[in-house]
Structure 1
Amino acid sequence: MGESTTADGTAALAVRALTDETWPAFARLVEANNGVWGGCWCVGFHVKLGKGRTAAENRAEKEKRVREGRTHNALVFSGDECLGWCQFGSPAELPEIKSRRLYEKGLVSLPDWRITCFFTGKGLRGRGVADAALGGALAQIARLGGGTVEGYPEETDDRKVSGSFLHTGPMAAFENHGFTRTRPIAPHRWVVTRAVDPA
């Protein structure tokens, strides 16, 4: 895939799916960032992470799901370097969500797709990675048939919030991509939704 460049000559951001081919770049980023949040390897929304579960088990679980086509991440690249991602999937693929009790209390029907988490590597924030990843995830969802998409972002309300606490995504990114607030499920977390037409 050809890469374009920005006005300052740096590689423009490109979004690719997490596949066998892109796994090595994804794994390099995860390894460079302590396995992501101490060893999650981006499986915390696939399976319940118990105390006895190791980072090695999480890595094996994620890699197996990649090989079997049972995980979806929109990876953001600059050249050959993976900078971050947005994870999405069906509720069956991503059953573990934050604020479950309040989420289920107001649930009318499950969405077709969930956008559960974002990650940007250390030193790479402020480059539009989350926004690019969300746009890429929506494009992949359109190619996979579209449908109702939910996200669960944190509203900062001008609070100072560490980027690591915004792993379900910043509200501004979702609103910039046409999501609307449906209902609150925690003091600062919302269910946001939008429809995506099939590509």
Structure 2
Amino acid sequence: MPEIVISPASRGRFDDAQHTLSGGGDGRSCQCQWWMMTNAEFQRASHEERRALLREEVESGFPAPALIAYVDGEAAGWVRVGPRAAQVRIGRTRYIAGHTPEPLDDPDVWAVSCFVVRREHRGRGLNARLLAAAVDFAREQGARLVEAYPIDTTVGKKPANELYHGILSVFEAAGFHEVARPKPDRVIVALELDRNGR
């Protein structure tokens, strides 16, 4: 059995973040900035500018902007988790903003918004492990509720690059419940946190 360790993407781990994000899909070009910028800002930003923004988040951000899963010491998976209000695109995404029951400016609502797993490490349940760690991390930082926007893969076939949102069944297995379904395959899920444990 491989050893899996999940750690915050904090100072000194930027190279690990880059290794994870370069393992397939859009992570390398996006640099996990999609949710952190308006659409106009994202379209204007070059790859190097997005990379610099992520470096700044990892090296100086508190709390860490994401968690990294290490498989036998190799950076293999990534999940962005943080205050929802800081992920500016969420509040500007109509299907989310128009259907979430939580006030968009509530600092106690956190969001799990992006997963990346390197190709060679897929199929090992890393998304579930990352999600569990993200929930624990949000609780430790004082979050009241964690929200997410997974894809229901039972509704039509989805290209792999769209699955960065996460898969509904993984969230359901972790105890999240559906609060809205703005589109047949797009779901808003939430998990209330007991700050003394689940």
Distance 1:66 1:37, change over 3 A: closer
Please list, as runs of the form range in 1=range in 2, the aligned pairs for 1:41-190 lying within 5 A after superposition: 41-48=31-38, 49-70=41-62, 71-97=64-90, 100-110=93-103, 112-157=109-154, 159-190=156-187
Q: Which runs of 5+ in 1 are unaligned?
A: 1-5
Q: Distance in 1 between matches of 2:68 and 2:28?
A: 20
1:104-142 superposed Cα distances (whole Å, 9 cap, x missing partner)? 223432361011111111222101111111011011112
Measured after TM superposition, the shift of residue 98 of structure 1 is 8.9
Matched, 1:13 2:13: no
| Matched positions, count | 189
Normalised TM-score (structure 2): 0.86
Contact 2:34/2:42 (<8 A) preserved: no
Q: Which runs of 5+ in 2 are unaligned?
A: none
Contact 1:150/1:192 (<8 A) preserved: yes
Normalised TM-score (structure 1): 0.85
Q: % of aligned pairs identical?
A: 21
Distance 1:105 1:29, change over 3 A: closer
- From 30, 38, 56, the equivalent of 1:40 is 30
Runs of 4+ more than 4 Å apart: none
Matched, 1:22 2:19: no
CA RMSD of aligned residues (A): 2.1
Contact 1:99/1:186 (<8 A) preserved: no
Amino acid at match of 1:61: L
